[in-house]
Chains A and B, each alone.
Chain A
Amino acid sequence: AQTVTQSQPEMSVQEAETVTLSCTYDTSESNYYLFWYKQPPSRQMILVIRQEAYKQQNATENRFSVNFQKAAKSFSLKISDSQLGDTAMYFCAFMKLGNEKLTFGTGTRLTIIP
C-alpha cells in the first residue's frame, strides 16, 4: 500500500517570500502521478499542480513549482512570491497509474503573513 507523509503540520511565511512544503511517499510502483491540492478556509479542494512520475522535468504552474526526486521519493512544492490568497491547507497526494484511488497526506497548514 502507498503512504504519503507531510512532516510539516504548519508553516508561515511573510507575503512575497518563497516557501517550500515537503512531501515524501512510499511505493513500489514505477508509474504513478503526484499531486498538490490546496484547501482554503472555504474547504473547496483545488488542484495546484500535478507531476507524472515518468517525466524527469519538474512541473511548474505560474508561481508554483515542484522538486520531484523519484529515487528519494520526495515531492516538494515551492511557492514563489507568496500572496495572502495562498493561505490554506496543502495536501500532497499519490495515484498509481491505472488505479483511481488517490492517497492523501495529512496536510500542511500554510499561513501567509501580511
Chain B
Amino acid sequence: NAGVTQTPKFRILKIGQSMTLQCTQDMNHNYMYWYRQDPGMGLKLIYYSVGAGITDKGEVPNGYNVSRSTTEDFPLRLELAAPSQTSVYFCASKRIAGGAETQYFGPGTRLLVL
C-alpha cells in the first residue's frame, strides 16, 4: 500500500490564481481530512469527509472547496489564492469514526502564494 499520497509536493501561485491539491488513499478508508499548518503552529482542520458524497467544514474552511466523488480521492480546491493561504497542507485518512482509530497522514504539499 502506498498509503496517503499528495500532489504536488510544492507549488508557487500568484494571487488570484486557482489550483487543486490532490489527495489519494489506497487503504479503503471512509474518513478523509484536509489540514493546513502555518509556520510554528499546529495543524488546523479545513474540511473533512465521512464517505463518498459527504463533506463537512472544519475549523478554517473559508477560501477552500472540496469534493468526494470516490472513496479514494479527496481533492482540495483553492479558487482565488491569497497570501494568507501560504501554508503546508496535509491530507489524512482513517478507516472509521472515533478517536480510537489512527489517522494516517500524507507527506504534505507546500504552497506559496505571492
Q: Real complex partners, A and B? A: yes
Residues of A in contact with B (beta carbons under 8 Å apart): 4, 32-33, 35, 42-47, 50, 52, 91, 93, 95, 97-98, 100-107
Supply 15 A–B pairs (Cβ within 8 Å), ascending by A. A35-B99, A43-B88, A43-B107, A44-B108, A45-B43, A46-B105, A47-B102, A50-B99, A52-B100, A91-B42, A102-B103, A104-B42, A105-B42, A106-B40, A107-B41
- Contact status B100-A107, CB under 8 Å: no
Q: Which residues of A contact B108 (CB under 8 A)?
A: 43-44
B interface, by DSSP: helix, strand, loop or mixed?
Answer: loop
Cα A40 to Cα B40 in complex, Å, equals: 14
Of chain A, the residue at the smallest CB distance from B110 is: A43
Q: Which residues of A contact B66 (CB under 8 A)?
A: none
Residues of B in contact with A (beta carbons under 8 Å apart): 31, 33, 40-45, 48, 50, 58-59, 88, 90, 92, 97-100, 102-103, 105, 107-108
Q: Which residues of A contact B100 (CB under 8 A)?
A: 33, 50, 52
How far, in Å, is A18 (CB) from chain B's closest CB?
24
How far, in Å, is A45 (CB) from chain B's closest CB?
4
Chain B CB count within 10 A is highest, among A32, A52, A100, A105, for: A100
Q: Which residues of B contact A47 (CB under 8 A)?
A: 102-103
Q: Which residues of A contact B58 (CB under 8 A)?
A: 101
- Contact status B48-A44, CB under 8 Å: no
Q: Which of A44, A105, A106 is the one whose CB lies under 8 Å from B105?
A: A44
Cα A97 to Cα B100 in complex, Å, equals: 10
Instruction: List 12 additional A-B contacts (Cβ < 8 Å) besides A44-B107, A104-B44, A105-B42.
Output: A33-B99, A35-B99, A43-B107, A46-B105, A50-B99, A95-B99, A100-B33, A101-B48, A102-B43, A104-B43, A106-B41, A106-B42
Cα A98 to Cα B90 in complex, Å, equals: 22
Q: Which residues of B contact A4 (CB under 8 A)?
A: 42
A-B interface, 6 closest residue pairs, ranked by CB to CB distance from nearest: A104-B42, A33-B99, A45-B105, A95-B99, A43-B108, A104-B43
Q: Which residues of B contact A33 (CB under 8 A)?
A: 99-100
